Structure 1
Amino acid sequence: MKIGIVTDSLANLGLDELLAFCAEQGIDSVEFAIGNWSNSPHLDAAALLESQSKRQELKSKLLHHGLTISAFNANGNSMHPTDGERQDAVVRQAIRLSEHFDVPRVNLMSGLPAGAAGDSMPNWVTAAWPPETHRMLDYQWNEVAIPYWRELVSYANDHGIHQLCLEMHGNQLVYNMPSFLRLHGAVGDTVGLNFDPSHLFWMGGDPIEIVKRYARHIYHVHAKDTYLHPGNLAHNTRLDHLPMDRFQERSWSYVTLGYGHGESWWRDFCYWLQAGGYQDGVLSIEHEDINLSRREGVIRSVALLRNCMPTETPDFELPS
């Protein structure tokens, strides 16, 4: 396995500083966030698409620092009822950039439609009752999501991209394995997972159990941790909408690797990824810890991954 980083984790650095820091830390690859929920602090996607010389300049800088691109990231809501067209355009920029840079994948979210035609806000259905929830889900899946994703898969494939990697995330239509498998079943193998255990922690899932069962669907991995606050969970539940900066009051918060789940957990996680065939894959660090500096958080995360992840191809042979 290799260590990567989501470039927004070091949004306080310029591009040249970012690449130099990654090389200094022995990071292997970068995952460039190019828009939507990111302000794209390091790249101008439109300029790169327009200019071969700008693309070559970026390729030269990456080569100089011994770095590759693991993915272009366009996280957002491309099925938003009022802003979806703009956000979808960013997704398609990411697909075209991936084609130009010979990157096989794009990382994104599934998106979340409105609950009904004419609504202006997305609607995340989290329960089976009251009865209108089923009508909402039928509209979201059959009238919006499946047609949109079938067309997007076709667009990606036409540009030579065969891995659209989704994070299972709250406030998205795809947030757990049943919802992922529903979309995958409708549109095929181009849709896989950008597997981020931190989201499953707060939603109550078991990331390692998912890796054991569904490793074939994992095309990319985000390395991010979540701290679960037992006392606050007792009365807030996991569905907590307090602002992220109210760390001491929240049920859960994103933290630096090892500060939510110890090194032994991350060792098991990496071990089962390797067992599932993710031997040459990237663990892309995503730092969103408000209590540690970006620099310190990334340095500590790199150190933990180095202690936990396999770096060589298995070569054990059973005696004949």
Structure 2
Amino acid sequence: MKIGLNTDGFGAFGLDECLDKVAALGLSCVEFGVGGWSSAPHLKVEALLTSASERDRLLGKLRDRALEISALNCSGNQLHPGRIGPEDTDLAYKTLELAKLLGVRRVVMMSGLPGAPGDSHPNWITSSWPLEAMEILEWQWSERVIPWWKRFASKAETDGIRLCVEQHGRQVVYNTESFFRLRDAVGPVVGVNFDPSHLIWMGGDPVSAIQALGECIYHVHGKDSRIEPASKVNGLLDPKHVIPVHSRYWNFVSLGHGSSVRAWLDIVRALRAAGYDDVISIENEDYSMAAEDAVATSAATLRFCIQQSTEEAA
């Protein structure tokens, strides 16, 4: 297994400094955010699409540091009923084109979330009540989700690119069951970008999910969640902003600061057992500590877990 970084975690640094820090940490891969919910701090899609010299320059910087691109990430809401939908759809197709030009074979993204019929904002259905909720959910899937994904998946398959859907709360695909509904409709070009942190704050078990997903796992994020004491009073649904962290019911944290290191060892073991022997890309959204410290902590945790699981498998 390899350890990488979603470079948004070092978004405060320029590209060269970011890559230097990644190499100094002994990581081997980078995952670049290219837009959508990412500010795209290190790549400019239009420039790279139109200029072979810009692409060569980027690949040269990576080669000089013995780094490779594990994936491009265009997570956004291509199903948004307003202007965001067409903008993020355009980005998604451009990301496929850029991935092909750079020789990258994975694109990470989220499923997107439509509105209800006639709505101008997305609507996340989490319950079968009130009764109209199920009508809205079925309309979302049949009229918005599946048609969009069939078109997009066909293009990705033609380009030889695997789509790695992150199961994220507030998206129409947010757990294992909803992922399989998409995959069953669209086909195996669609797999999972497995991120344990979302499942954790929704009350699931990462190891059980890995066992259920199996060969559908195409890419993995290294991110943890910590359930905070206030959740005992208020539960886990929390609309507050991610900062300040002390007032929240759960928080994204660096690896080992939410789940134990032993729990992460179990996750790595489960990934190996499922046949996944590829990159775990650290996605740092721990706002309780400096980015460099959080990434270093996550890298050290993963390095221990990978080494331990490798020795066990020998």
Fold match by TM threshold 0.5 = yes
Q: State whether structure 2 residue 106 is matched by structure 1 residue 109.
A: no
Q: How far, CA to CA, are the matches of 1:313 and 1:35 in structure 2?
A: 39
265, 289, 292: which one pairs with 1:292?
A: 289
Q: State whether structure 2 residue 199 is matched by structure 1 residue 171.
A: no
Which piece of structure 1 moves more, 186-195 or 204-213?
A: 204-213
Structure 2: runs of 5+ lacking an equivalent: none
Q: State whether structure 2 residue 87 is matched by structure 1 residue 86.
A: yes
Counterpart residue type for residue 261 of structure 1: S
Q: Map 1:1-320 to 2 at 5 A.
A: 1-82=1-82, 83-116=84-117, 118-161=118-161, 163-229=162-228, 231-279=229-277, 281-310=278-307
SS in 2 for 1:290: coil
RMSD over equivalenced CA pairs, Å:
1.3
SS in 1 for 2:198: helix
Distance 1:315 1:243, change over 3 A: closer
Structure 1: runs of 5+ lacking an equivalent: none
Moved over 4 A (4+): 310-316
Deviation digits for residues 73-113 of structure 1 (CA, Å, limit 9, x no counterpart): 00110000012000111111211111011111100000000
- Number of aligned residue pairs: give it: 312
Q: How far, CA to CA, are the matches of 1:174 and 1:106 in structure 2?
A: 16
SS in 1 for 2:245: coil
TM-score of the two chains, using structure 1 as the length reference: 0.95
Which piece of structure 1 moves more, 306-315 or 248-257?
A: 306-315
Q: How far, CA to CA, are the matches of 2:205 and 2:159 in structure 1?
A: 35
Deviation at 1:263, TM superposition (A): 0.7
Q: How far, CA to CA, are the matches of 1:86 and 1:35 in structure 2?
A: 10
Percent same amino acid at aligned positions? 44
Deviation at 1:314, TM superposition (A): 8.4
Q: How far, CA to CA, are the matches of 1:100 and 1:225 in structure 2?
A: 33
